[in-house]
Amino acid sequence: MTTDERRKRFRTAVYQAIERGDDPADAAKAVSDQAQHETVTRLRDERDRAIRIAVALENQLAAVQEYARHSDDTAPRTRETILRLTDGYQPDASAPQHLARGSNAEKCPACVSTRRSYVPLLLCPGPDDGAAS
């Protein structure tokens, strides 16, 4: 929705509230809340789409790596190039990874997946660095 469309929706709701004798502030708040809900819903859909794409790309990369390691059809130079470019990249689909220490916990996949609904979480604790406690 464009800015002009939002303004038009806002003005229309306020004018209608005035004509009905309702509080225009309540009408304005309702329009604002609806716009916020639409935005949040759209952003969540885009986030979910991005996650699906990332998982698909990780799966494709893993398949290319596996093919390069075990295929006799792949030319040796191509095999070396693929393995060199993807060396060290091992996607771990079993557990989401933390963002950097101090990042927004609401955007961290590991924090979001383990957070209990009654515990407010503001900052991501960061990756475990392989230390077991």
Amino acid at 102: G
Alpha-carbon dihedral 55, 57, 63, 69, rounded to 10 degrees: -120
- Residues composing the chain: 133
Whether the per-residue pLDDT at 103 is higher than 80: the answer is no
Name the token pair of 81.
């190039």
Whole-model pTM: value is 0.45
State the residue for tokens 């509230």.
17
Name the token pair of 20.
């009905």
Q: What is the pLDDT of residues 19-33, one digit of tens each?
A: 999 999 999 899 889
| Contact criterion met (CB below 8 Å) for 128 and 98 | yes
Q: What is the pLDDT of residues 69-90, one digit of tens each?
A: 766 665 666 766 776 776 655 5
